[in-house]
Structure formats: structure tokens, C-alpha cells
Amino acid sequence: MTANENNAKQQKVVLITGASSGIGEATARLLAHKGIHVILGARRTERLETLVTAIRSEGGSAEYQTLDVTDRAGFQAFVEFAQSKFGHVDVIINNAGVMPLSKLEALKVDEWDWIIDVNIRGVLNGIAAGLPLMKHQGFGQFINLSSIGGHAVWPTSAVYSATKFAVLAISEGLRQENTDIRVTVISPGVTESELADSITDAEAGKGMEEFRKIALPAEAIARAIAFAIDQPDDVDVNEIIVRPTASPY
């Protein structure tokens, strides 16, 4: 094996869902700057192409694939693409999420289905696609994005919070069941992103506008993700909660 081949093997390979904007994009840029191979997945392929071009222009290593996390077969193909390209997968960051807040009495049941599909099934699809490979390798790490909404519930957040509580439960179960796989949950407080764009309820949207006045930049969450990845293999950072200093919640 040549020195270049050995170096490529040692570089970590990190898959990021929801990578076309917000936390996903910021994480991709930061990790690539640190010399990590990043494979980016999202539905908006044109944004991924632009991001990959930017990362490569700065000397980073990046690839992309169209990905809908609710599509189990598509997620499997996403992981297989990374494995075929680099031979292994070190980390899967289940970042994709939606947040169509509304009171239960609004009966936005289609939005309930959507949020469950993306925020819960999307994470499970990532685990189903990546876990067999990581078990075969004997190493790997899942980083699942929850939220402060996974620790508390507010009016309009019942369904969203339920999905983020579920991410905590799924992650803890995954951690307990595997002694060779690291599992990290990142729970952001209010953060600059397009997440609130999924809110269609006027009352909830107005409340979120006020809440987001103290929002963290997405790079703050990216740094927390990078910290968890950077730890030695025998150190598993299980959860990080990142809030704005001014946040009362």
C-alpha cells in the first residue's frame, strides 16, 4: 500500500443527511476543512452540487447523492455508494428533519405523518442502512440530531417533540445494544436554519419568529458534532445540548 493509499484509508468517511443547508451544510464544510471525506445527501441536488464544488475548491474531499431519508432503499444506496467509493464508513449523521409546528386541535394530520416519516423513520432508515456495515467493520458512529424539543414540550410542539424524544430513545437503545459502535445525540437549541420554513400554521410561525431572534449560527452545532467525532475510539460522547447563552429554554 502506498503512503497516499494508507492516508486515504485512515481519513474518516462521514455521511451527512439534510446536507443542503443549515446544520448539515455547516457540518460538511467544517469536517471537510478538517480533512474528512464527506458524502452529502439531500433532496435538493443542485444545492449539493454547489456545496461539493465549493468544498473541493478549498481542497476538501466531498461527494453527493440525492437522498430522501424516508426512502429505505434510497438510504441503503447512499451508504453503499460511500462504501464503494472509500471502502468503509466511519460516521453517519442523521441530520435531516422537519418542524411543522401547530397545536393538536389544528388537526394537521398530514403534517403529523410527514414529521414522523422524516424525523423518526428517517433516523431508523439510516440505522438500518449503516448498522450492518459498521458491525462488519467492527467500528462506526451514529450521530443523531434531536433538539431541546426532545427534552421539553411547548404548545404547538407536541408532535415535533414526540419525534425528538423518539430520537433520544432510539439512540440510547442503539448504544446499549452495541459495544463497538459509538452513538451520539446532538440536541440543538434554536439555531439558524430553514427548519422553521416547514411551519404552515400562522400562530406557530409567529411564535417561532420571536424565538429565533437569539438563534445560534449553524456552525455552533457543527463544532459540537466535530467534537464528538474527534474523540478517541474508546470515548463515546452520548449527548450534547447546545443552546444560545440567552435562551431561557
- Indicate which residues carry an active-site annotation: 160
The grid cell for 228 is 464528538
Count CA atoms closer than 13 A to 130's CA, side-chain side.
Answer: 33
List alpha helices for the chain, DSSP H: 3-10, 22-33, 45-57, 72-86, 109-116, 122-137, 158-177, 202-211, 218-230
Q: Which residues pair with 66 in a beta bridge?
A: 42
Task: Name the 3-class secondary structure at 114.
Answer: helix
φ/ψ of residue 181, rounded to 5: -120, 130
Residue type for position 182? R
CB atoms within 10 A of CB 168: 17
| 179: nearest Cα among 236, 240, 237 | 236
The DSSP 8-state label assigned to residue 217 in this structure reads P
